[in-house]
Structure formats: C-alpha cells, structure tokens
C-alpha cells in the first residue's frame, strides 16, 4: 500500500502509521502528543476516533468488491474504556461483514500495556 499520509493527509497530521495491511486485518499505531489531547493531558476521543476511522477505511478499501472505486464512512460508533495520558496507541481492524453495498469493520484500540482503550464499529459504503 502507498504511504497512508499521501492518500489521506489527516493520517500524516495525526502521525498514524500502518504496520500491517491485508484484507483480513489492518494494524496501525499513533503516538500520544499534547496537541492531540483534551483537558488534563488525555488523548482526545476525536483523535482516537479519527485513528480508528483511518484503519477502518483501509480495511474497507482492501475488501472492496470488483468494480468498486472507493468507500465512505456512513456510521461510526465508539466505546471508550480508559484514558490515554502517554505513550502510543495501537489499533487492530477486522471486517465483520463484507457485502455488495456496505462493509462493516471493528477496530480495537490498545495502549502501550495492551489494555483495551476503545472499540469502534463502523459501516463503510461501497462506492462505484
């Protein structure tokens, strides 16, 4: 896969890195940084959601049927389990449903100690 930041500039802005990208599983990471935080030095939920959305979009793209040109997020639901105040988060995305019109993916986000930080389930429309 090409450099993610070249395809999606927000990935570069947030420092999102891909470590594995195949149809069955996408893995990536993002470092904590003060400019990505809310009050108290906690990694902002919006930054975590953007991270999950980026990995989910890559997963959906890798699972598109023949003839499709791209995907677009149409729904995203995140549960937050714990705050991140330092280090790095890692995400793992796997498809839950691959259809003709929609792809549903789940992204699990973990902190540096492999504690579950968040879980995002999103629906991506398949565009032709």
Q: Could you give all domains of the chain from N- to C-terminal order, each with its CATH number? A: 20-127 (3.10.129.10)
Please say whether the beta carbons of 88 and 47 come within 8 A.
Answer: no
Please say whether the beta carbons of 24 and 93 come within 8 A.
Answer: no
The whole-chain average pLDDT of the chain stands at 95
pLDDT for the residue numbered 3: 76
Mean pLDDT over 81-89 rounds to 98
Q: List the one residue out of 63, 61, 78, 74 whose CA is nearest residue 117.
A: 78
Mean pLDDT over 17-41 rounds to 96
Please say whether the beta carbons of 56 and 4 come within 8 A.
Answer: no
Rounded to two decimals, the pTM is 0.94
Burial profile 22-45: b = 16 or more Cβ within 10 angstroms, e = fewer:
eeeebbbbbebeeebbeeeeebee
| Spatial distance between the Cα atoms of 70 and 82, rounded to a whole number of angstroms | 33
Residue 45 reports pLDDT greater than 80: yes
pLDDT for the residue numbered 2: 56
- The CA distances from residue 2 to 9, 113, 117, 124, in Å, are 12, 29, 28, 21
pLDDT for the residue numbered 16: 96
Mean pLDDT over 30-40 rounds to 96
pLDDT for the residue numbered 21: 95
pLDDT for the residue numbered 1: 52
Tokens 């500039």, residue?
9
């Amino acid at each position: 896969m090409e450099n993610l930041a070249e395809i999606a500039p927000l990935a570069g802005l947030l420092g999102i890195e891909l470590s594995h990208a195949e149809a069955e599983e996408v893995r990536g990471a993002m470092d904590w940084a003060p400019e990505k935080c809310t009050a108290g030095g906690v990694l902002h939920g919006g930054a975590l959601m953007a991270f999950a959305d980026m990995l989910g979009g890559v997963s959906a793209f890798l699972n598109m049927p023949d003839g499709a040109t791209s995907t677009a997020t149409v729904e995203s639901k995140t549960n937050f389990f714990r705050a991140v105040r330092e280090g790095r988060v890692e995400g793992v995305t796997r498809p839950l449903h691959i259809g003709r019109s929609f792809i549903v993916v789940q992204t699990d986000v973990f902190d540096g100690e492999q504690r579950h930080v968040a879980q995002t389930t999103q629906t991506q429309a398949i565009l032709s």
